[in-house]
């Protein structure tokens, strides 16, 4: 497809499109991707063009189409955000950047990171939903052409599509895209199952003839009699949809009846209900299979009447009835907000404001909820259909299928949910685990002093309810867990002859990246942490590491054979730190830390620099580092500090007092260490001591070289 072909597709619904800008975007994208090929061997730019063409079917605006043409330029070509913004405006650049970030998210990962990336996905959607529209079209074209990928890559992409993108398309109201994404994924993940469905379906058509045409004629005849003008569209369900029904109902294909669906598109809402009456008069309705999404629309704007009737030969037939305007939203979902017709943004009264939709979708997910909780909540919302129940005041509460009175209570308010002790459904007292149905009236019975129960987690189905229950349970148990955790901590630290103080706990919290010492105790008491983990966070090396020690003569790599070295006294580099050597005539090279302030003196003498590095492995504790420490002036303090240092496997070679005050001493402690990690351990141990006010590494930049340097052999 060339630029003119694409422009012609846009002009069909938007004669006022900026054709020059679209052509320039086409040429820019083609130039950026020049020479790049897809796995199939086709020029890579055929993919962005195909994505743009898919979006024209949704009659989307110029900015979205240009984003589709350029959506891989920032990631895969030399183009930058600034280049795109300069040529096509800030709006397009922002959208392209958003699609690029979505592409880099690993949503199919089984790791914890999947949950964090899912939150990022929804954050990107909340900024501009067109980003996800481009990404969905991108995924659809990739799935249509997936055969050119490696087999294992096909399975990965198909699973990700089935788990994430197909349900997301459905939640956005783009049901046609959901069905196609599911079926394309099904073809990869279970080719034998799909082929089996197709073979059986062809056999059914041969045996029963063209059922769709016969039922369509019957419906037209009945609607004509009633004077109702309607367009009827019949279709067989997709193979994956049939397969899913077989799995859900545990039925064979031969027993599955509702594999045909029909849509009746009328001119007005009144005709929808007239058509419903006509259909029910002619064919018997199947109980429990009626849904009125016109009077109670879905949050994504979807409106339609759903019913199932017994057609010819007792076969079940699903019928959807809606107006043409409703159908446009049903096809495009939330994307209908950007649809154009005759050069103008289409005014469709049923289209949902995307900002309002994404707000409704995410409002129940608290910002303080952990990533895993967020992922669970979002998936629950995405994969669920809805039921509509009424409060005693007549308010309509939308809930996912399978919801219980607990979910209803939390949907009204978290306070109501927490205080729930019972429920009445249609004025009858029912257990809290009762599954609610469409149209039921629900009354929540509350009591002061009631608190959420742990069993409610198994009863609730909505993300909002589960999140609120978890938070409440954590608060209820917190005091008990802290008390238990303190006893466990006292025992664990006692085993290594250490005391549990608030400073020790705060140090453990920082190391473990936990908000506070109390939270450490709470997690210890709830078995989320072990006593050993907490002790290791503060005192990770109570005994020297085992294994062969690296001799001092070969501690540094990069020297000439037999050549020694001196450690610079100014920075006192330790194994594990980045280093550089400075040569002196007739003397051994002096080793400095790469960030040493003295290195500025040799900026113009690069010929004296030697590229060095420490030998990796276990070094002996012979490398001196100096600590500047301020401690409390109290009986036994210095002795306890020296003991703590010794317990880490370090040796104190000297002490120099710099300042003596009535309350505090400031002193330099010369400590012989193995490496930088050993220094970190000693520092952390001292930070945990109540009597230590400050501690930092001391570096003396006034020392001259090479005289007075500390030899690497001492």
What is the CB neighbour count within 10 angstroms for residue 548?
Answer: 7
Pairwise CA distance, residues 307 & 99, whole Å: 39
Task: Specify whether 76 is catalytic.
Answer: yes
Pairing of strands 587-593, 651-660: unpaired
Tell me the two tokens of residue 445.
Answer: 């019975």
Cβ distance 351 to 300 under 8 Å?
Answer: no
Tell me the two tokens of residue 271.
Answer: 């005709």
Angle at 665 between CA 664 and CA 668, to 5 degrees: 150
Task: Specify whether 20 is catalytic.
Answer: no
| Residue among 5, 42, 62, 76 flagged as catalytic | 76
Is residue 25 classed exposed, middle or buried when 0-12, 13-18 and 19+ CB atoms within 10 A define those classes?
buried
Query: Closest Cα to residue 172, out of 304, 330, 300, 356?
Result: 300
Helix 371-382 vs helix 463-494: angle between axes, to the nearest 10 degrees? 160
Cβ distance 436 to 399 under 8 Å?
Answer: yes
Pairwise CA distance, residues 302 & 292, whole Å: 11
Tell me the two tokens of residue 99.
Answer: 């699609």
Tell me the two tokens of residue 518.
Answer: 């109390």
> How is the chain split among helix, strand and coil, in percent rounded to 5?
50, 20, 35
Pairing of strands 260-266, 316-323: parallel
Positive or negative: CA dihedral 403, 404, 408, 410: negative
Main-chain dihedrals φ then ψ at residue 710, nearest 5 degrees: -90, 125
Cβ distance 575 to 625 under 8 Å?
Answer: no
Pairwise CA distance, residues 161 & 157, whole Å: 6
Q: Identify the residue whose tokens are 């209900």.
A: 273
Query: Closest Cα to residue 608, out of 620, 618, 598?
Result: 598
Cβ distance 262 to 234 under 8 Å?
Answer: yes
CA atoms within 13 A on the CB side of 601: 11
| Residue among 4, 42, 75, 271 flagged as catalytic | 75
Cβ distance 319 to 336 under 8 Å?
Answer: no
In sequence order, the 6+-apart residues with CB closer than 8 A to the CB of 316 are 257, 258, 286, 308, 309, 310
CA of 79: how far to CAs of 27, 69, 270, in Å?
Answer: 13, 13, 54
Pairwise CA distance, residues 469 & 432, whole Å: 14
Long-range contacts of 472-480 (CB under 8 A, 24+ apart): 472/418, 474/522, 476/451, 476/452, 477/526, 478/522, 480/525
Residue 417's SS3 state is helix
Residue 313's SS3 state is helix
**Catalytic residue annotation:** 75-76
């Amino acid at each position: 497809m060339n630029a003119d072909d694409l422009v012609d597709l846009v002009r069909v619904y938007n004669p006022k499109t900026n054709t020059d800008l679209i052509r320039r975007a086409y040429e820019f994208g083609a130039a950026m991707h020049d020479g790049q090929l897809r796995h199939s061997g086709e020029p890579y730019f055929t993919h962005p063009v195909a994505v743009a063409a898919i979006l024209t079917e949704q009659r989307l605006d110029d900015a979205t189409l240009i984003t589709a043409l350029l959506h891989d330029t920032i990631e895969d070509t030399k183009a930058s955000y600034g280049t795109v913004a300069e040529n096509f405006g800030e709006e397009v650049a922002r959208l392209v950047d958003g699609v690029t970030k979505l592409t880099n998210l690993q949503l199919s990962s089984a790791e914890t990171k999947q949950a964090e990336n899912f939150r990022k996905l929804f954050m990107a959607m909340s900024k501009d939903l067109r980003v996800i529209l481009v990404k969905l079209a991108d995924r659809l074209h990739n799935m249509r052409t997936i055969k050119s990928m490696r087999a294992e890559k096909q399975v990965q992409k198909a699973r990700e599509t089935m788990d994430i993108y197909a349900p997301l398309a459905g939640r956005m109201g783009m049901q046609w895209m959901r069905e196609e994404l599911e079926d394309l994924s099904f073809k990869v993940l279970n080719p034998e199952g799909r082929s089996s469905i197709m073979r059986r379906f062809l056999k059914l058509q041969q045996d029963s003839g063209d059922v769709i045409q016969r039922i369509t004629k019957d419906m037209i005849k009945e609607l004509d009699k009633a004077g109702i003008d309607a367009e009827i569209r019949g279709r067989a369900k997709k193979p994956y949809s049939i397969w899913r029904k077989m799995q859900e109902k545990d039925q064979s294909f031969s027993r599955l009846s509702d594999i045909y669906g029909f849509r009746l598109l009328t001119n007005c809402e009144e005709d929808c209900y007239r058509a419903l009456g006509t259909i029910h008069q002619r064919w018997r309705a199947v109980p429990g299979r009626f849904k009125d999404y016109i009077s109670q629309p879905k949050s994504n704007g979807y409106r339609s009447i759903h019913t199932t009737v017994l057609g010819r030969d007792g076969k079940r037939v699903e019928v959807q009835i809606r107006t043409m305007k409703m159908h446009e939203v049903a096809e495009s979902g939330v994307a209908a907000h950007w649809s154009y017709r005759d050069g103008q943004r289409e005014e469709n009264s049923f289209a949902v404001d995307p900002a309002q939709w994404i707000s409704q979708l995410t409002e129940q997910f608290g910002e303080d909820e952990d990533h895993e909780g967020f992922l669970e909540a979002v998936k629950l919302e995405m994969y669920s259909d809805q039921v509509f129940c009424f409060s005693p005041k007549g308010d309509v509460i939308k809930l996912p299928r399978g919801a219980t009175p607990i979910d209803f209570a939390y949907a009204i308010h978290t306070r109501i949910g927490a205080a729930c002790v019972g429920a009445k459904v249609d004025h009858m007292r029912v257990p809290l685990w009762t599954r609610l149905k469409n149209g039921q009236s629900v009354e929540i019975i509350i009591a002061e002093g009631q608190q959420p129960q742990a069993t409610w987690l198994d009863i609730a189905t909505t993300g909002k309810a589960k999140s609120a229950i978890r938070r409440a349970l954590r608060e209820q148990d917190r005091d008990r867990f802290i008390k238990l955790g303190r006893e466990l901590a006292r025992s664990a630290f006692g085993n290594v002859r250490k005391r549990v103080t608030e400073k020790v706990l705060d140090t453990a919290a920082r190391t473990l990246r936990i908000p506070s010492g109390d939270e450490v105790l709470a997690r210890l008491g709830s078995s989320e942490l072990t006593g050993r983990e907490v002790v290791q966070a503060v005192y990770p090396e109570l005994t020297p590491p085992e294994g062969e020690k690296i001799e001092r003569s070969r501690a540094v790599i990069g020297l000439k054979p037999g050549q020694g070295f001196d450690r610079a006294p100014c920075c006192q580099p330790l194994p594990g730190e980045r280093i550089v050597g400075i040569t002196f005539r007739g003397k051994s090279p002096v080793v400095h830390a790469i960030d040493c302030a003295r290195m500025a003196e040799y900026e113009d003498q690069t010929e004296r620099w030697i590229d060095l590095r420490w030998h990796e492995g276990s070094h002996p504790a012979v490398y001196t580092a100096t600590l500047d420490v301020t401690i409390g002036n109290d009986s036994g303090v210095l002795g306890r500090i020296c003991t703590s240092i010794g317990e880490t496997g370090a040796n104190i070679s000297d002490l120099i007092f710099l300042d003596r005050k009535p309350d505090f001493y400031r002193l330099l402690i010369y400590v012989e260490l193995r490496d930088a990690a050993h220094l970190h351990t000693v520092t952390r141990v001292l930070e945990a001591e109540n009597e230590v006010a400050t501690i930092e590494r001391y570096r003396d930049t006034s020392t001259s070289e090479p005289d007075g340097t500390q030899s690497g052999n001492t």
